[in-house]
Structure 1
Amino acid sequence: MLNKPAHTLWLCCVANFINAADRVIMPIAIVPMTDEFNWDLHGQGWVLSSFAVGYISSQVIGASATKKYGGKNVLTISVLLWSMSTFLVPLFAHSIYALTLARVILGLGEGLGLPTMFHIFSHGIPSEERSRSFGYLVAFGSIGQTAASVICPHLSWRWMFYLFGSIGFIWVFVWLYMYKEPRGTIDEEFVEPPKVNNNNVNWREFINHWPLWSIYIAHFSMNWSNYIIMHWLPTYLTRSLGADQTHIMLTAVPYVMNSVVGVVAGHYADSLISKHKWTVLSVRRLMTSIGLMGPGLFILFFSAVTNLPLAVLFVTICLGLSACNSSGHLSNHAEVAPSHAGITFAISNTLATIPGILCGPLTAELVTQSHGRWFPVFIIAAGVNFVGGIVYLSQSAASQLL
């Protein structure tokens, strides 16, 4: 029988598997859908980015609701919402406006989910297991993206949505049966209580500290490049490098690397901390610098290649290094704000969703104005990564602020 932290970890990991898989379906499906419905590049951009509009709208709401109503209830509603919107996409696809609405609802559901998982982790996972736990959580997201990238090219675009939407409904039944809320709606239970448990924090405190802003900016930077890869890689490989449906399965390779590196980096980070070789802050800074500056460098390499296997190789290395962020700034929330990790993550992820809104129309405009060249898109992404890494290295902290 699993102990409580392990029980919590694996249930949330499977939820993140489904979460991430549902996000990847549309970037793959949009190629045959565009051929069927004759959308232009700007129309595709708005469909892809509409997810982020819903996602950015529900982050803080989800974190606040979790503190009031409990993680079990909020995560149940979250998964039901995003699974329903995934399952019903084929019914809305005839109208680009209805499809955009469905994508907004998908974003709303997923926006409720991740802050809830961070809240659950901050209460139920001991600090000496935190790096690897976040590593597994992020890795399962990458495995979900891998599964979708491998399976979806073999299905009609309609069955992509039916299949993964159904998996979400099955998870809800398992979650309701297996997970027991370790707290009431008023008194919170911690596996490792914070030094100061202040539940009456003024909202200004969440934006008044530079260590918090270093996390927010690092998260924003990570997502800028990740959203471009997630949303546009199948289109880029197909339209610019001549990839066919078989080649699209190669987009699974970067997600495999991301999941493997995330787990290895998490165990390595916890090992450095538990053996007292490095301080928690030094480990967070090391992992974040690798997770931001490394991908920034390889995005520059990626922008210069025209060979399909080489392009996939550089993207694979890029997403692999990006997984180190799970042991870096993503784990930092539970240290600087253990009682409010769900809310600080919600604020961070809200700001980090702005790239998801911008990268659709902005990428379409840059590529159109550059007469089909993607070089400006990748240069901007690399620059954002380097700036985020520098800010985090100079401003981050590991002591409790809230």
Structure 2
Amino acid sequence: MYNPFYIYIMSFSLALILCMFNWSILYPVIKSDVIIFLFITFIVSLFLGVLYSKTFEPKFINLSNQRRPRISMYLLSVLAPFSILIATDRDLPLYMVLVHGTSNHNEYGISLLMPLVLTLCTLFAAYFFQLFLSFKDKKYLLMYFTLYIPPLLLFSRGTLTIIFMVTIFILLMFFGRKIKIKHLLATGTLILLAMYLFGSSGDTRISGGETTILGMGGATDNFLQSSVPDEYFWSYIYISSPLANFQLNVDSQDYLNNNIPFHTFILAEIVPGFISKYILEIYDMTEAQPALIAPPFTVGTMYSKAFSYSNWLGPTIIFSYFIILIFSFMKVVSKKNPFFVSGIAILCAMSFLNTFSNMLMHSSIILPMFYIILFGFLIRIPFIRNFYYHKELGI
């Protein structure tokens, strides 16, 4: 349940099944070429999932026998850049959405500080949730919920979704083989609630509310006449439309960008986004423009854009990089690293979200992974270790 390769199989299978519900008139028929490609990756992932589990033995690590963190120092690490961000621009995205009905999330504040704040919130939320499960101390749970505040004020639904997903994976790791039906029911209820809230926030984010998303998504009579609440159409369209876009790109040979240099593909799809976007802008490099079922739905799984660059070679390279990234990260990160469990949960979240977009280069995933590796080295320095942790156990 917390193996990124198994998560890959389950998430793409879910998207494939949803595409067959016939709830949107915009969707093309999922054809054999896409199904065969996914089936091959499923077989490879099944084998690698077994290898991953045997090699790394990923499991929840109880931190109660380790030095407790200095909560104030972790909080300062987030609040310092967040305070600077607010000081430079007081029109918080949440305020703009609630009061003016428009979001300025992408243009808000200092561009370099926004991802720093959001990714630190992701990592620290995962870590403090693990601490809460280890120590059963409510102050860690309070810190966990506190870390929802910056992404909420910045109206970053992506960060909130990642934190929620990482929490679910840490819970699954915590219960391990002790998972009972009541735990699965509770998890399912939380997921349904999150999907409902996701739909509600989406209705708030765009003018026109439910009517707009039902129209934009091309809701069919099958959906409109069903007993499924309209709020869930957001989740349906978000989960399944990327695969529909991928199929559309496979069908639309006119959207192949074979004239774009191969190094542009590597830069745009593999190099981390917080680096590549500046290089692409500086050198005015043209990126591929994949086909879309509709303009509002711009993502096409981890594969759609790669296919636009290099036909089936593109998705093959992306899947290979997906494998390399997971095994390389797990090889580098020691179980002694306090963020080891957080890293596993982030890998699982990355694997699930690859169904939507290419998360292998997305800052919201790559930066927390980088922090984990960096912190693993820095924590060996006594000054830094004593800055973030109490000197004695049980304090």
TM-score interval, smaller chain: under 0.3
TM-score with structure 1 setting the length = 0.27
Q: Would you tell me which structure has more helix in proportion to its own residues? A: 1
TM-score with structure 2 setting the length = 0.27
